[in-house]
Structure 1
Amino acid sequence: MTFPGRFEGKVMVVTGGAQGIGRGVGLRAAAEGARVLLADRADFVEAVAAEATGETVGFQCDLETSQGAQDAIAAAQARFGRVDILVNNVGGAIRMRPFAEFSPEQIEAEIRRSLFPTLWGCHAVLPVMLDQGGGVIVNVSSNATRGIRRGPYSAAKGGVNALTQALAMEYGQAGIRVVATAPGGTAAPARRVPRNAEGDTAQEQTWMAEAVAQVTQSNFLKRYATLEEQIAPILFLASDEAAYITGAVLPVAGGDNG
Structure 2
Amino acid sequence: MNAQRFANKVIVVTGAAQGIGRGVALRAAAEGGKVVFVDRADFVAEVAGEAIGADTAAFVADMETYEGAARAMAFAVERFGRIDVLINGVGGAIRMRPFHEFEAAHIDAEIRRSLMPTLYACHAVLPHMLKQGGGGTIVNVSSNATRGIRRVPYSAAKGGVNALTQSLAMEYGERNIRVVAAAPGGTEAPPRRVPRNADGDSDQEKVWTSEAVRQVTESTFLKRYSTLEEQVAPILFLASDEAAYITGAVLPVAGGDNG
Q: Same fold (TM over 0.5)?
A: yes
Other-structure match for 1:81: 81
Alpha-carbon distance, 1:117 to partner? 0.2
Give distance in 2, aligned partners of 1:194 and 1:3: 36
Find the residue that maps to 2:166 and give its secondary structure: helix
1:114 aligns with 2:114: yes
CA distance in 2, matches of 1:63, 1:89: 10
CA-to-aligned-CA distance 1:51-91 (integer Å, 9 cap, x gap): 01311111101000000000100110010000000000000
Q: 1:97 is paired with a residue of what secondary structure?
A: coil
**Hey, what does 2:251 align to over in structure 1?**
250
Paired position in structure 2 for 1:176: 177
Matched with 2:128 is 128
Instruction: Output one character per residue of 1:95-124: Cα deviation in whole Å (capped at 9) or x when no partner.
Output: 000000000000000000000000000000
Distance 1:123 1:100 in 2: 33
Q: Corresponding residue for 1:219?
A: 220
Counterpart position of 2:26: 27
Q: Which residue of 2 is the match for residue 96 of structure 1? A: 96
State the secondary structure of the residue aligned to 1:14: strand
In structure 2, C-alpha distance between the alignment counterparts of 1:200 and 1:189, rounded to whole Å: 18
TM-fit CA distance, 1:4: 2.5
State the SS of the aligned residue for 2:164. Answer: helix
Amino acid at match of 2:136: G
Match of 1:49 in 2: 48
Is 1:200 aligned to residue 216 of structure 2? no
Tell me the alpha carbon deviations over residues 173-231 of structure 1, each in whole angstroms, 9 at most, x when there is no partner: 00000000000000000000001000000000000000000000000000000000000
Q: Distance in 2 between the 1:61 and 1:10 partners?
A: 22
Give me the whole-angstrom Cα distance separating, in 2, the residues matched to 1:221 and 1:130.
Answer: 42
The TM-score with structure 2 as length reference comes to 0.98
The amino acid that maps onto 1:155 is: A
Task: Give SS of 1:153's match.
Answer: helix
**Distance (Å, rounded) in 2 between the aligned partners of 1:236 and 1:93:** 25
Give, as a single letter, the amino acid of the residue that structure 1 aligns with 2:6.
Answer: F
- Opposite residue 236 of structure 1, the aligned amino acid is F
Give the match's secondary structure for 2:170: helix
Aligned partner of 2:161 in structure 1 is 160
Displacement over 2 Å in runs of 4+: none
Q: SS in structure 1 opposite 2:137?
A: strand
Give unmatched runs, 5+ long, in structure 2.
none
How far apart, CA to CA, are the structure 1 residues paired with 2:3 and 2:145?
33
Question: How many pairs align?
Answer: 257
- Taking the aligned partners of 1:4 and 1:58, their CA distance within structure 2 comes to 23
Q: What code does the residue aligned with 2:27 have?
A: R
Cα deviation code 1:116-155 (max 9, x no counterpart): 0000000000011111220000000000000000000000
2:168 is paired with a residue of what secondary structure?
helix
Q: Name the structure 2 match of 1:16.
A: 15
Partner letter of residue 46 of structure 2? A
Q: TM-score, normalised by structure 1?
A: 0.99
AA aligned to 2:51 is: A
Mark the runs of 5 or more structure 1 residues left unpaired by the alignment.
none
* Letter aligned with residue 101 of structure 2: E
